[in-house]
Amino acid sequence: MSVSHPYILVLYYSRSGATRTMAEQVVAGIESVAGIEARLRTVPPVSTTCEAIEPEIPAEGAVYATIDELRNCAGLAIGSPTRFGNMAAPLKYYLDCTSELWINGALVDKPATAFTSTASLHGGQEATLLTMLVPLLHQGMVYAGIPYSESGLLETTSGGTPYGNSHVAGGSSDRSVDDTERTLARAQGKRIARLALALRSLHEEK
C-alpha cells in the first residue's frame, strides 16, 4: 500500500493526562526525523451504559483516531495507562474494531512500539507493554522496543523499559514526566520514525 505522506500514528488513551504527555514527547522524537510526520490521536472512552455515538472529530479536545488512520500509517506508537497490568479498555476496544485490517494484512511489516504510565513503580509497566504487543503481532506488525544503547534505560530510577517507554505518575497522578522518561520517549519516537522509513518499501511492494 502506498503512503504518499508517511506518518506515524501516535495512538493513545489518557484519563488524567500522563499518557498524553508521553505521547507528545514521542511526537517530538518522530518530528526530529526528516521525511515523516506524526499524527497524534486518541480514542473515545467506553462506558457500561449506552451512549450516543460521538462525532469522529470532536468539536474540541483531542482528535479520535479513525480506522483508516491506522490502515494508512507507516508505523504505530500506541500508549495506554496501565489498568491492572493491561491496556485500558478504550484502546482495546479500538483494536477490537480492526478485524478488517487483519484480514487484509494492512499492517503487515509496519513497525510498532508501545508506552505506558502507571501510578506505582512496580505497578505492571512491563506486563502492560508486553500485553499491548500481542495484538500488534497478530496484525503482522514488527515490534520495536528501546535498545540499551539509550543510556537512560540503565540509569533510570523511574520509568523506561526495553519493552517500550513508561512513566511513573504517582498515586495522585501528580508526578511529572522526568528528564529520563522524556529522553526515552523522544528516542522511542525517533526510532519508530526511522524504522518506518526503512521498512516502507516492504509494504509498498504489496
Binding residues (CB under 6 A) for ligand FMN: these are: 14-19, 81-85, 117-120, 123-124, 169, 173
Beta carbon of residue 156, minimum distance to ligand FMN (angstroms, whole number) = 16
Q: Based on CB atoms, which residue is closest to ligand FMN, 88 or 107?
A: 88
CB distance 67 to 107 below 8 Å: no
Q: Which three cell numbers stand for residue 74?
A: 507507516
Cβ proximity to ligand FMN, 31 vs 126, nearer residue: 126
| Cβ closest to ligand FMN, residue 91 vs residue 107 | 91
Nearer to ligand FMN, 16 or 32 (CB): 16
CA distance linking residue 76 with residue 11, whole number of Å: 7
Least separation, in Å, of the C-beta of 173 and ligand FMN? Answer: 5
User: According to DSSP H, which parts of the chain are helical?
Assistant: 18-30, 67-71, 89-96, 99-103, 125-138, 152-155, 179-204
Residue 23 corresponds to which cell in the numbers above? 505521547
Residue of this chain nearest to ligand FMN (CB atom): 123
Give how far the C-alpha of residue 53 lies from the chain's centroid of Cα atoms, to the nearest Å. 24
- Residue showing cell 480492526: 98
DSSP state of 174: -
State in angstroms the smallest separation of the CB of 185 from ligand FMN.
Answer: 13
Longest dimension (CA), the chain: 48
In angstroms, give the least distance from the CB of 13 to ligand FMN.
7
**Closer of 1 and 119 to ligand FMN (Cβ):** 119
Please report how close the Cβ of residue 120 comes to ligand FMN at its closest, in angstroms: 4
Cα distances (Å, whole numbers) of residue 97 to 19, 45, 68, 94, 140: 22, 14, 11, 5, 16
- Name which of 69 and 126 has its Cβ closer to ligand FMN: 126
Shortest CB 23 distance to ligand FMN, Å: 9
